[in-house]
Amino acid sequence: MADAPQTGKPKVAFYWCASCGGCEEAVVDLAEAILEVVGAVDIAFWPVALDFKRRDVEAMEDGSLAASFINGAVRTTEQAEMAQLLRQKSKLVIAFGACAHLGGIPGLANLWDRESIFRRVYLESPSTDNPDGVLPQVRYEDDGRPLTLPGFFDTVRTLDQVVPVDYYLPGCPPTPNIILQAVRALLRGELPARGSVLAPDQALCEECPRKDSKPERLGLVEFKRPHQVLVDEGTCLLAQGLLCLGPATRAGCGALCVKGNMPCSGCFGPTSRVRDYGGKALSALASIVASNAGEEIVRIFQQIPDPTGTLYRYSLPASLLRRRREVRAA
C-alpha cells in the first residue's frame, strides 16, 4: 500500500466484541494461508492472541492502522469505546462476521432488555445461587477503592450502528475463502465501493450444488426439522420440506451447511436489494406454502418453531424494527 507505515507493511488490528469467539477461530482456520497474511501485514493489536493493551492502541497515531477487523455485536459500553477507538486509529474498519455485520446470535437478546436479562441470568435461572440478589453494577466501592464494570446496553447493536464501517465480511463465521479474498483485495488496494459486503451479491441457491433439483414451483404443506427426515443428499432441501433459507440469503459460503445436509440458516444475511432480511425471508416462505385456506396456512406455519428466531436468527439488530418494542411509562 502506498500509504503504509514506516515498516513497509500495513498494520492491522483484530478485535472481539459480543460474539462467541468463532470469528477468531476463523482467522486460524486460514490454515497455511495464514502465513501469507502474517507475512504481508503487521498485526498491531489482537487481544485474543497477542499481548497488546488498550493503551498501546491509544498511543497510535490516528489513521495509522491500515485496517481493523472487528467481530461481534456491540452490547456493552466497553465494546462501543473500543470500536470508537479503533475507528479513530484505522483507515478501514471491517465488520467481521455475522454479529458485527447484522447483530448475529447475540442480537436475539433484543427480544428482551437489560432488566429482564439481568433478572433471568442473575436471579431466576435454576443454576443461580445469589441469595442477596446482587446485580452487575457499573461502579462499586470496596474499602474506598472504586471498582468498575462496563455498562450493559438495553439494545444490542451492529457495528455500523456505533461507528462507520467500510466493509462487511459476512458469515458465522466468515469462511476462509472470503477472508482470504478480502485480505488479498485489501493488500492490492482493489476493494470495491465502500459499504460493500465482500461476498457475491446473489442468493445462495445460485451456488447450491442441489440447485438443479429445485422444482420450478415449490409447494410445501409441511415444514420438517432435520431430525425428522432422512435427508436425500442430492435433492433441494426445501423440496424435502426442510426450512432452508437459501433463497433469501447471500451466497459466498459455498453452501457448506447444505453440503452437510443442514438447511441454510441465513448467516450471510441478505443481498444488497433487501433492507430487512427477516421480512424478505418471510415473504419467500409465504410463497412456497401450497395452501390458500386460512386455517391450513396457520397449521402449516405452526410447524415452524419460533418464527422470529428463525427468520431473524442473525439479523434482529439490523432489522427495520431492531428490537422488541420497549414500553416506557409515558
Task: Please report, as ranges, the residues that interact with another protein according to CB under 8 A.
Answer: 74, 77-78, 80-81, 84, 111-114, 116, 119-120, 138-139, 148, 150-155, 157, 161-162, 274-276, 278-280, 282-283, 285-287, 289, 291-292, 294, 297-298, 301, 304, 307-308, 311-312, 319-328, 330
CB of 161 or CB of 213, closer to another protein: 161
CB of 41 or CB of 248, closer to another protein: 248
Per the DSSP assignment, residues forming a β-bridge with 25 are none
Reading the block at residue 96, the C-alpha cell is: 467481521
Residue 96: closest CA among 8, 205, 207, 12 = 12
CA distance 65 to 68: 7
In the bound complex, what is the minimum distance in angstroms from residue 177's beta carbon to another protein? 30
In the bound complex, what is the minimum distance in angstroms from residue 77's beta carbon to another protein? 4
In the bound complex, what is the minimum distance in angstroms from residue 83's beta carbon to another protein? 9
Task: Return the C-alpha torsion angle 247, 250, 254, 255, nearest 10.
Answer: -30
CB of 235 or CB of 303, closer to another protein: 303
Q: Which long-range contacts (CB under 8 A, 24 or more apart) does 188-191 make?
A: 189/1, 189/2, 191/92, 191/167
CB of 37 or CB of 290, closer to another protein: 290
Q: How far is CA 193 from the centre of its chain?
A: 21
CB of 120 or CB of 259, closer to another protein: 120
What one-letter code names the amino acid at 78? E
In the bound complex, what is the minimum distance in angstroms from residue 136's beta carbon to another protein? 10
In the bound complex, what is the minimum distance in angstroms from residue 16's beta carbon to another protein? 18
Contact 248, 274 (CB under 8 A): yes
In the bound complex, what is the minimum distance in angstroms from residue 246's beta carbon to another protein? 18
Contact 23, 173 (CB under 8 A): yes
CA distance 267 to 104: 8
In the bound complex, what is the minimum distance in angstroms from residue 6's beta carbon to another protein? 32
Write phi, then psi, for 90 (nearest 5 degrees).
-115, 145
CB of 38 or CB of 221, closer to another protein: 221
CB of 72 or CB of 171, closer to another protein: 72
